[in-house]
Amino acid sequence: MTKSKTTQSTAVAVQTAEEQAYLASLDTNRPKAEYTGPAKLVINTLSKDADGNKRTIGSWHIANTDIYYDGVAKFRPIRHANKLIRYKENSAKEWELVGQSVYFDNFMGDIPDSTGGMALGRKFGRKYSDEEKAATRDNAETYLDIFGFVSFDGGEDHPVLYRVRGTKLMKFLDAFKAVPKGTRYSQYSYDLETFQPDGKQYWDVSIAPDMSQVLPIMPILEYDAAVLEYIKSSNEEVMTSYKRNSGNKFGDTMAENMKNVTPEYTDVTDDEMPF
């Protein structure tokens, strides 16, 4: 059989200046492949997804995907960090971001925030009295961002960020402390199960360390490196805002945002906030 030959045209395409500019823009405007962070692991609060499919309220959901799971999730945390965040509720009953801090581990150090202040006005450390600390508690919530892998029913491991606050935050930290001496919390999986406390409208989570096996460290190193880069990038964004706004006093930059930020349902507990 005679092989066919592929011929290439030698004709030269004549492009207008507008066409040339457009083609050049395809290269300069093309988004760069950057790691923007893992998808968030959340508790589903809607009875239907964006396509109208019925979903179980209280089930696990990986945000911006069609992954839902109603059961015990197997979660392997690899790194966690604190962040202070302040939201306000607008007239449409939607939550807007007022400001956030850099990621941090030590409450006693400097914690720059995006408003140009420190720790969104929160006071920590021995130099402040309990009364002074309590007076600033409503300025911002402490969140624990836990980066790790989640799997459902023995399936695929999904890299996720699970953000917790209030009693859930303390549950996780207590679970981490329960691991045997000489090992790290990232060497174990944790069983996470959602439940609804009696008489409450919010969903809570039970956390149980699975100590049946010690997991190897090597498989998580690549993802951990990506997480560190994400934390660094996030902190740089906050610091850019901090430097831009630091010419103003904290009270001046926050005064408007601090007005009427408490939801009308004042009897809401710490775990019932919608974020």
Unique residue bearing structure tokens 């300025």: 139
Average pLDDT (197-225) is 92
In contact, 78 and 149? CB cutoff 8 Å: yes
pLDDT at 250: 46
> What is the rounded CA–CA span in Å between residue 72 and residue 189?
12
pLDDT at 15: 58
Average pLDDT (26-34) is 51
| CA proximity to 189, closest of 222, 157, 211, 161 | 211
Where is pLDDT greater, at 272 or 180?
Answer: 180
Residues 6+ apart with CB under 8 A from 152: 60, 67, 69, 71, 73, 74
DSSP H helical segments within the chain, as ranges?
A: 17-28, 130-135, 166-177, 221-245, 250-254
Average pLDDT (181-202) is 93
Where is pLDDT greater, at 130 or 1?
Answer: 130
Structure tokens at 59: 């089930």
Domain boundaries, the chain: 72-264
pLDDT at 4: 45
Give the burial class of 113: count Cβ atoms within 10 A of its Cβ; 0-12 exposed, 13-18 middle, 19 or more buried. Answer: buried
| CA proximity to 76, closest of 174, 25, 151 | 151
Least confident of 81-90, 159-168, 258-267: 258-267
Dihedral, 263, 264, 269, 271 alpha carbons, nearest 10: -40
pTM higher than 0.75, yes or no? yes
Least confident of 9-13, 115-119, 220-224, 258-262: 258-262
Where is pLDDT greater, at 226 or 262?
Answer: 226
Structure tokens at 29: 């405007």
Average pLDDT (129-142) is 93
Average pLDDT, the chain: 83
Residues 6+ apart with CB under 8 A from 124: 107, 108, 111, 133
Residues 6+ apart with CB under 8 A from 28: none
Where is pLDDT greater, at 27 or 235?
Answer: 235
Mapped onto helix, strand or coil, the DSSP state of residue 207 is strand
| CA proximity to 143, closest of 162, 126, 129 | 162
> What is the rounded CA–CA span in Å between residue 207 and residue 274?
20
Highest mean pLDDT, choosing among 37-41, 88-92, 201-205, 224-228: 224-228
- Residue 77 CA: distances (Å) to CA of 172, 191, 230, 264: 10, 11, 16, 35
